[in-house]
Amino acid sequence: MKTKAYAAAGVDIDLGNKLKSTLPQLLASTQRREVLGKVGGFGGLFALDTRKHKQPVLVSSVDGVGTKLKIAFAMDRHDTIGEDLVNHCVNDIAVLGAEPLFFLDYLGTGKLEPHVFKDIIKGFVRGCTTNHCALIGGETAQMPGFYQRGEYDVSGTIVGVVEKSKMLNGQKTVKRGDVVIGIEASGLHTNGYSLARQIFFEKLKLKPKSRVAELGNTIGDEMLKVHVTYGPLVQALLKKFNSKTTAVKAFAHITGGGFVDNIPRTLPKGCDVVIRKGSWEMLPIFQIIRDRGGVDEAELYQVFNMGIGMTVNVAPDKADAVLKFIRAQKHKAWMIGEVVKGTGEARVI
């Protein structure tokens, strides 16, 4: 059979269609009753159940996973990237109190490799299933000559909903004396990889498959650990502690910008947050970065999460109960700081 001209130019539509034909079966576990139609239409359909909310507010976010992809390419492991992306997006809307509803993905690549495509989709499915979020559509673009061989890019968009009266707004509720609880990350999550790659692969001369004794792992596998989802935990905390009062006042997702740039988003102008170094168990990967990376320590807390993936501002009289509850949900957590008088900044001391 003669090769089609478009396939000869690098875009195999037939292969793309064949791979996409497997999607309904792969995505079955992510479906919610509000989803209408089938995957593959020009647009995803979701019928919002307005009976659950008096004043529903839709909350959306879009993101990628940055140069963490370079580690996936080097390790030829693609099953974690999709899950990273879903969890990152879920966390970004969870800080407002929003429940995730549906997710859309974008995958761009030079040549569509079937095993890579399926592994990425499996990651999306795991993330969406864990977060009870429907994967209702996406786009797969084949662009030969645009990407380096064996490389691709992914991004995702999430839409969630929150009751207007229950939407979290730390700028109105956070007060001096509030306690800041830090919840453990699994590792780098999805930020700081450009600097981390420079430290591990250029400065320390490691290879992605180099085994590092302190980690009990290869550096590549350690850097591919999945970004933790805090979405289900956030919903459980709000149900437990905010049904009558606002004991849980604000969350900050510690992503790009670290503590220094993310926590201030939750603060009123007259308050600072003071984060105390040494108040949590720092993961070994961050100890290596701190001790051997040659980076000013103050900058580390503006680039990396340093082992804390989410912070929670809590009323002081409820701090012990909230901490106990978080730990009961199988998340490590610590009291790592407090809200003090200031000008809307986060200080790490």
Is the whole-model pTM more than 0.85?
Answer: yes
Give the burial class of 53: count Cβ atoms within 10 A of its Cβ; 0-12 exposed, 13-18 middle, 19 or more buried: middle
What tokens appear for 231 in the block?
Answer: 């979405």
Q: Please tell me the predicted confidence (pLDDT) of residue 331.
A: 98
Span 131-138, mean pLDDT?
A: 93
- Alpha helices by DSSP H, listed for the chain, are 5-8, 13-20, 23-26, 68-75, 81-94, 114-130, 170-173, 193-197, 219-223, 231-241, 258-262, 284-292, 297-303, 319-328
pLDDT at 234 over 70: yes
pLDDT at 26 over 80: no
Residue matched to tokens 């009323």: 315
Q: Please tell me the predicted confidence (pLDDT) of residue 19.
A: 61
Domain ranges of the chain: 5-166, 170-348
Span 280-295, mean pLDDT?
A: 96
The CATH superfamily of 170-348 is: PurM-like C-terminal domain (3.90.650.10)
Position 224 confidence tier, pLDDT thresholds 50, 70, 90: very high
pLDDT at 56 over 70: yes
Give the whole-angstrom CA distance, residue 53 versus residue 36: 20
Q: Please tell me the predicted confidence (pLDDT) of residue 121.
A: 92
- Write out pLDDT tens, residues 296-312: 999 999 999 999 999 99
Span 51-64, mean pLDDT?
A: 95
Q: Please tell me the predicted confidence (pLDDT) of residue 203.
A: 97
Q: What count of Cα atoms within 13 Å lies in the side-chain half-sphere of residue 232?
A: 13
Neighbours of 30 (CB within 10 A): 24
Q: Please tell me the predicted confidence (pLDDT) of residue 116.
A: 93
| DSSP characters over 22-38 | THHHHTGGG--TTEES-
pLDDT at 32 over 90: no
Span 189-200, mean pLDDT?
A: 97
Span 188-196, mean pLDDT?
A: 97
Q: Which fold has domain 5-166?
A: 60s Ribosomal Protein L30; Chain: A; (3.30.1330)
Give the relative orientation of helices 81-94 and 231-241 as an angle to the nearest 10 degrees: 30
